[in-house]
Structures are given as structure tokens and as C-alpha cells.
Amino acid sequence: MPIARKFSSLLVATVILHLLIGCNSETAPAPTPQPAQDTATNLQHARAVEAVIWGMPAVNYDLMLQEMLTKTPGKVGQVIYWGRPLDSKNQTLTPNPDALYFMVFLNTKDGPVVLDLPPATATGSFNANIVTVWQMPLEDAGLLGRDKGKGAKYVVLPPGYKGKLPAGYVALQSDTFGNYMLFRANFKSHSDADVQSAINYGKQMRIYPLSAAAHPPLTTFTDVKDIDYDSTIKYDSTFFDHLNNIIQSEPWLDRDRVMIDQLASLGIEKGKPFQPDNTTRSLLTSAAQDARAFLYAKYDAGLPPFFSAANHWTYPAYPDLIQAAQAGYTDLNNYPVDHRGVAYSYAFIGVKRLGAGQMYLISIKDKNGNAFDGSKSYKLTVPPNAPVSQYWSVTAYDRDLHTLIKGMPRASRSSQIPDLQKNSDGSVDIYFGPGAPSSKDSNWIPTDPKRQFELMFRAYGPTQALFQKQWVLPDVALVQ
């Protein structure tokens, strides 16, 4: 882990330094010792920086949970949903505005919880992901998930569960009590009728304790489309309040036990109140800001390119993180904490089989290698015969917050849009900028001229042509 490696390196460096000083004692001046108080403060700051990077996915989870509990009528075990395509009232990280979002948080402390999900029909289908507090994927569900569109009763089991399950359930063993599911109901278009059809389809799901399976209670659904739902990462001392929520409510995972003493030095201990004084709050905010600088610098450096080294469309996360998460972090010689911290600073949810049900590509630079400027105009030409069995879409996000850009009338364009204009060869030109090109409003995604932006291309039901690079998405070009 990063902290262990850092301390090991520090120890080796200290020993070498002492040896060098000993060998040159006649000429080398004795080092000036640092006051113990300064050393303790520096160590506490360093540990706090590491805690932010390590705790990012869990804090990301808790921010969404607390936003539901404090701003909506929704409760754990119930379903909140956005009853229209997402707009900037939803300030989660890089969401998809071309599907109907349903979200349910679970707590298995009282026993297993059932997610009874509907089969696909002629008028409805879904893609869903079920994850732990640490956003480790337990399973993908839906048309291209585990059930292949047949529907299934998934049951999330609490840590250490030893009970027997009745036949007919898909068992998902979690290592945390808290879990959640993101359920995306697909729609044919953004029309009111198609959106309502997707809502009606999503409301066929049922959430209930396994103990009540013989007579399942009704599931409560709450529409939160008009609520300002903000789960952006807060890089200040409140980050540690959310981290404390996780430590108090969840068991320690073996792979993370090295963090017990590190967090205790910050005042976070299981079973004890977290009550930092003003001086500690100031230190924690400074550390959170330094962690942000580290994470953003890594993100700015770019994720691994997808199509070619010269192309600016990248993987949605680091390949070593994708592999480790899909394997449940079972490789004892691999734990990409830094890469995980970066990923969950700009996104949420984990995908068990990335590339089967959905694939994402990210671009933060134009064809010339420059960051996207919201005051300028750009064009992306999506080639014909996109390698998807469902749909493709491209979405613009706030570059700094990684959320839908505030104040914009829409955030994306997709192949679901009936009035999307196509070129004679079947390709589609998508425009980004503060104003729509003449007669191209249906193909335009507006941007804020005062802010930078970033792009995500989604392929739902991707085919092999994408992964074999037989179809290549070109870079976004600045319109002169």
C-alpha cells in the first residue's frame, strides 16, 4: 500500500543517511534535528493526504447516500429515481443523461436483501450495476448483464453470511453491509411518452429483505428530478466526516487494516466520536487540497489511450484498476489505490464486465492536444456504423467538477435522438460550444464560455468492432 511503501522508503533513506554521516563524521556537519512537534504535524498531514486518496470510493458512496437521506424523502431500501433525462440538478459525477436513473441503497446488517429485477420486454429494458461501499462491482444486471435480459432475483449477502438460500436466487456475497445499485432504464428517445414508458418499466423492480420473500412488501419509489442533488467531492475537512461514517458503519477489510493506526492519528477510530478541533480541521482541509492537486495532476496527465497513442480518446480508468476491481482485489501483489482514488474523483459505480454491457471513452483534449475551452467551438464526427447493439451517446461535463455543466439546456447527444442530422455517408457531426452552428441545433451540445469541459463517449451493447479497432472515433477538432 502507498503508506507502507512510503514508510519503508523513509526508513531506508534514514539508515543510508546515518551511514553516510558516520563515514564522513570529520567533514559532514551534524544535521539539525527537526522539532518533534513539526515532525508530528508533517506526518499527520501526510497521513491525511493518503487517507483521502485511499478513502475516495467510499466517501464518494457516502456523499450520495447522505444527499439522499438529507435532501429527499428517500430511505435505505427504497428507490429514488430521476423522472426525466438528467440535467444539472443532478450533480453526481459523470452521469448518463440518455437513460432513466434509478438508485437504491441497501443495508444488510439485518440480513440479505433481494433485488427482484424485471425481464426485458418489447417496450422496456435496463442496464444495472450492483456494488459495495467501496464501489467494487458485485454484478452487472439487465439486457447485457448476468441475467441477459431475462430478469432475476439478485440477493446481496452481508459479510460472513453462512445461511442457506432458497432456490432461484443469484447470490452476491458482499464484504460490506452497505451496497447500492444503479439501474438505468433504457428509452427509445427523449419524448415524453418514451420517458414515461421507461419510468413505468423501472417501477417493476422490487426491493425487499429476503426474510420477507414469501410476502414481499411494496417498494417505495421517490422522484427526485427537481431536487438539487450534489454529491461532488468536497476537498476540505468534511471529507473526513464522511470517511468517519464509513469507518463507524463498516467492517475493516483485511487489505485495509494498515489504515487503522493512520486514521487513528487523525482522530478517526471505530467506536469513538470524531471531534477534530479547529487546528486539526485546518490541517485536514490543507491535506484534502493537496490530495486534490495530486489526483487532478494524474488525471490531467491523461489516462491510457484507447485507439492509438496519437488519439486522445482514452480508457475510462486505468487498466490495472479495472482488472483488480473486477477480480475483487484478490491479487495479493496488486492494490492500485492511487489509480482508484483518481477514478472515483471523477466517476462513480463499478462495472463487473466492462465492455460487455457498456464501454466508456474519455477525452480531455482536442485534436491538437489542448484542453477543451467552453468559449470555443469544436466538432466531433462520429463515423457511420457505430459498433453498438443499443445506442451511443456523447456527453459534455464540467472539467473541474466532473458533473453536468450547470445552466445548460442539455448535456448530450445520442443516436436515440430522432432529429439528429446525419451526413450522406451515415456519419454524424456533433458540435460543442457556447452557440449552435447555423441549422445544426439538433446536433449541438452547449458549453459554458467561462469554464473548461471534458467529454465521455458511451457505447451501450458494444460490439467487437470497437475493441478490435475496426471502427475508430476520431479526435474532436477545434472549429476555426
Which DSSP string corresponds to 101-160? EEEEEEE-TTS-EEEEEPPP-SS--EEEEEEETT--EEEEEETTSTTTTS-EEEEEEPTT
What Cα–Cα distance (Å) separates residue 125 from each residue in 121, 194, 360, 394, 459? Answer: 6, 12, 20, 21, 16
Cell numbers for 255, please give them. 487489505
Strand partners of residue 156 = 113, 172
Give 466-479 pLDDT, tens digit per residue.
999 999 999 999 99
Q: Please tell me the predicted confidence (pLDDT) of residue 84.
A: 97
Provide the β-strand partners of residue 362: 314, 456
Residues of the chain with pLDDT under 50: 1-26
Is the pTM above the cut of 0.85?
yes
Dump pLDDT digits (tens) for 24-37.
444 556 666 667 67
pLDDT attached to residue 288: 98
pLDDT at 115: 98
Compute the distance between CA of residue 72 and CA of residue 68 in angstroms, rounded to an integer. Answer: 5
Q: Which of 435, 431, 438 has the alpha carbon at shortest distance from 455?
A: 431
Residue-level pLDDT at 37? 73
Residue 23 is predicted with a pLDDT of 42
Which grid cell is 313?
Answer: 480518446
